[in-house]
Amino acid sequence: MSEIKDKLLLDAEKKMKLSIEKTQHEFDTIRTGRASVFLLDRIYIDYYGNKTPLKHIASIGIPEPRSIVISPYEPKFLKEIEKQILISDLGITPSNDGKIIRLAVPPLNEERRMELVKTVRKISEDGRVTVRNIRREKNDELKKMKEKSEITEDDLRDFQKQIQELTDRCVGEIDKSLSQKEKEIMEV
C-alpha cells in the first residue's frame, strides 16, 4: 500500500513541480524594464530550415542594466534575428551595426506595467489550473483503484488529503512567484 501511495504522490509532485518551473520560466520572459537574457527565450530563428532558439545561434550579453548585445555566431543571420525581434511582443527596436545587434531596454510606462501585470496574472492562473488538473487526474486514479478494491476508503481519503496538501503547497509557490514578479514589474 505504501509503495502505491509513494509512487502516486511522487508522480503528482514531479508533475506539479514541472508546472511551477514552466510558470516561473514564463515569468522570466516578461520584460520588467531591466535587461535579461530570458527576454529573448521566445525568439526563434529559421536556422537552415529549423526553428532554433536565438540563444543557440548567438552569444547574448548584458553590458549594462538596460541593454542587451546579441552577437550571432554566423553574421549572415543578423537580418533574421533583427526581423524576429521586431515581430515579437518585446516592444524593443533592435539596432544592427553589421556585426552585432544592440537592444536598449526602455523603462516601462504605467500603462505597459499594468498590461504586464495582467499578463503575469494570466500566466500564474494557467500554472494553477495545470496543478489542479494534475490533482484531479491523481484523484481519478485513486477512485479507480478504490473501485477495483486495490485501496480502502480510508486510504482513498488519506491519499486525497495528501494530494490536496501538495496542490495547496504548489499553488502557494506559484502565488509567491506572482507576487514577486508583480512587485518587480511595478518597481520604477
CB 51 within 8 A of CB 82: no
CA distance 118 to 129: 16
Other beta carbons less than 10 A from residue 151's beta carbon = 20
CA distance 57 to 47: 8
State the pLDDT at residue 93.
87
What would the pLDDT profile of 91-126 be if each residue is shown by its tens digit? Answer: 788 999 989 999 988 887 888 889 889 999 999 999
State the pLDDT at residue 170.
97
Cell (9 digits) for 79: 537580418
Nearest to 72 by CA among 88, 60, 84: 60
CB 105 within 8 A of CB 34: yes
Map out the domains of the chain with their CATH numbers: 2-28+109-186 (1.10.132.20), 37-104 (3.30.1360.40)
As a whole number, the mean pLDDT across the chain is 90
Listing DSSP states for 30-52 in one string gives S--SS--GGGGTT-EEEETTEEE
Nearest to 60 by CA among 42, 46, 40: 40
Q: From residue 1, give the alpha-carbon distance in Å to each of 11, 13, 159.
A: 16, 18, 11
pLDDT at 7 over 80: yes
Q: How does strand 44-47 pair with strand 50-53?
A: antiparallel
| pLDDT bucket at 79, cuts 50 / 70 / 90 | very high
* Rounded average pLDDT over 49-74: 92
CA distance 70 to 72: 6
- pTM of the entire predicted model: 0.75
Alpha helices in the chain (DSSP H): 2-28, 54-57, 78-87, 110-147, 153-186
| pLDDT bucket at 2, cuts 50 / 70 / 90 | low
Cell (9 digits) for 148: 477495483
pLDDT at 4 over 90: no
> Among the listed ranges 31-35, 143-147, 155-159, 177-181, which one has the minimum average pLDDT value?
31-35
CB 101 within 8 A of CB 85: yes
